[in-house]
Amino acid sequence: MSDKAWGGRFEEEIDDVALRFSESVSFDHRLYREDIEGSVAHVRMLASRGIIPAADAEKIEAGLGQVKKEIEAGEFEWDVHKEDVHMNIEARLTANIGDAGGRLHTGRSRNDQVATDMRLWVRRACHETSKAVEGLVAVLSVRAAGTVDVLMPGYTHLQRAQPVRLAHHLLAWAEMLLRDRGRLEDAARRLNECPLGAGALAATTFPIDREATAAALGFDRPTRNSLDTVADRDFLVEFVAALANCAVHLSRIAEELVLWSSQEYGFVRMSDAFTTGSSMMPQKKNPDMAELVRGKTGRVVGDLVTLLVMLKGLPLAYNRDMQEDKPPVFDAFDTVTDSLAVLTGAIATARFGVDAMRAALATGFLDATEVADYLVTKGVPFRDAHHVAGRLVARAVTDAKTLSELPLDVYREEHAAFDDDVYGALDMETAVERRDVAGGPKRARVEAAIAELRERLTGFSVDIETIARAHGAEERP
């Protein structure tokens, strides 16, 4: 094939600036597997329908296999003058097998071809990201099992609020991530329709079998409208939206790790493998990997915005703007996959500051709600009990005492219902154990939640023990 602009109408070479501006092979070459897979399915269908000779189809399929080997061996030279991954592969195929290679594109446009490639790629990417999510959740399940007995402050507004179990907190992270997995699974299910056969926008005059190519590529069915097929990038928006949501969750987890690793908290000590030092201050051990996860979230959110803005003004059907869909999709996938891997290793190898967590329970009046609940059990309306507890907190602040250090006569000054059994209600372990409701932090509830989480992971065919060993995770604080 000539290196001139594609198509017989053109006589001049494309301008160098225009070529550099418009080529996509520098990033879409990573679609080569999907491009070849789609081409094999297409050429088999063409032969089965008698549209091209069977002998040519066999040569094309063998030739595509050879091109794939060249690419994976690093012997393939990507040529920007051929614009994209599709034309690079087809040109190399024709150079290898001759004129038969020119029959491959029969009944197909690059518009339905790239739509097919991207759906195949995103379907695989959804699966890979889901597996990475499962790996992090598996590590969280192991760490939760080892921290059931560890109590810590729960926070609202970054203020100490009520005591919870560390395992309960880790399980909260797992729930966030499993919702992300569900969104990825849902996106993969909705995208699973095959674009091949839609052509440039109005299908083709050849008697193709769209159901056959859809089945060969593992799609549920062909797409329903040729115009919509080549214009649709909803599946990319859904995929990147799921990634952006996951990135935000990872950022929130990372933020807590950053806070917890500070001397002010002392709730976690990150391993050397996931921290760095300072160029000036030798004492520093910075949680850089967690900070980078937090920082890279902005990129993924930006990738989603890029897609939405790119699509918002496009008429049907295909427009060249849509070439710009690939860099943000690839970037979002790479960034989230790396972030999941980093946090999986960091959490697996972290050491939790059990003593610091328990010490933090002693200040901040985390037992104030217990005072109010105690009065409610004595028949006092909760709103009245809430006010009494608040006055007792104010008294404790004035006297520089904790609630458990206030004498009984002070309690009785505020309400006659208080008796000396109030001090038992202020015990942190007792406070946690009294929260015996579904989803609560009582020990038995947390242990049941860990067991149920492991059942969910097993249902996804996750080998928890193997993942834990691979990342050095143990059932320990």
Three state DSSP letters for 133-163: HHHHHHHHHHHHHCCCCCEEEEEECCEEEEE
Among 99, 92, 119, 116, CA closest to 39: 116
Where are the domain boundaries for CATH 1.20.200.10 in the chain? 111-354
Residue 5 has pLDDT above 90, yes or no: no
Nearest one of 362, 364, 351, 355 to 155, comparing CA atoms: 364
Where does the chain hold its CATH 1.10.40.30 domain(s)? 368-425
Q: In this prediction, what percent of the chain has a pLDDT beyond 70? A: 98
Pick the CATH number of 16-106 from 3.40.50.300, 1.10.275.10, 2.60.40.420, 2.40.50.100: 1.10.275.10
Reply yes or no on whether the pLDDT at 133 is more than 50: yes
Mean pLDDT of the chain: 95
pLDDT given at position 8: 64
CATH of domain 111-354: 1.20.200.10
Q: Where are the alpha helices (DSSP H) in 146-233?
A: 166-190, 210-216, 226-231
**Residue 4: pLDDT over 70:** no
Residues of the chain with CATH 1.10.275.10: 16-106
pLDDT tens-digit series, residues 364-378: 999 999 999 999 999
Mean pLDDT of 175-198: 98
pLDDT of residue 278: 79
In this predicted structure, what is the pLDDT of residue 15?
87
Question: What pLDDT shows up at residue 2?
Answer: 35
pLDDT confidence tier of residue 282, bands split at 50, 70 and 90: confident
pLDDT at 355: 97
Given this model, what pLDDT does residue 3 score? 41
pLDDT digit string, tens, across residues 20-45: 999 999 999 999 999 999 999 999 99
Pick the CATH number of 368-425 from 1.10.286.10, 1.10.40.30, 3.40.50.2300, 3.40.50.1110: 1.10.40.30
The pLDDT of 85-97, averaged and rounded, is: 97
pLDDT in tens, 376-395: 999 999 999 999 999 999 99
Rg (CA), the chain: 30
Query: Contact 222/194 with Cβ under 8 angstroms?
Result: yes
**Of 16-20, 49-53, 336-340, 374-378, which gets the smallest average pLDDT?**
16-20
| Cis? peptide before 317, omega within 30° of 0 | yes
Token pair, residue 272, equals 């050397």
Q: Return the active site residues.
A: 157, 278
pLDDT beyond 80 at 12: no
Q: Give yes or no for a contact between 278 and 304, defined as CB atoms under 8 angstroms apart.
A: no
Paired sense of beta strands 268-269 and 351-352, if any = antiparallel
212: how many CB neighbours lie within 10 A of its CB?
19
Contact residues for 153 (Cβ-Cβ < 8 A; gap 6+) = 160, 161, 162, 163, 164, 357, 360, 361, 364, 366
Quote the pLDDT of residue 6.
Answer: 52
Q: What is the DSSP letter of 223?
A: -
C-beta of residue 318 within 8 angstroms of C-beta of residue 110? no
Q: Which residues contact 439 (CB under 8 A, 6 or more apart)?
A: 445, 449
Kindly indicate the confidence band of residue 1, based on its pLDDT and cuts at 50, 70 and 90.
Answer: very low
Q: Is the pLDDT of residue 155 over 80?
A: yes
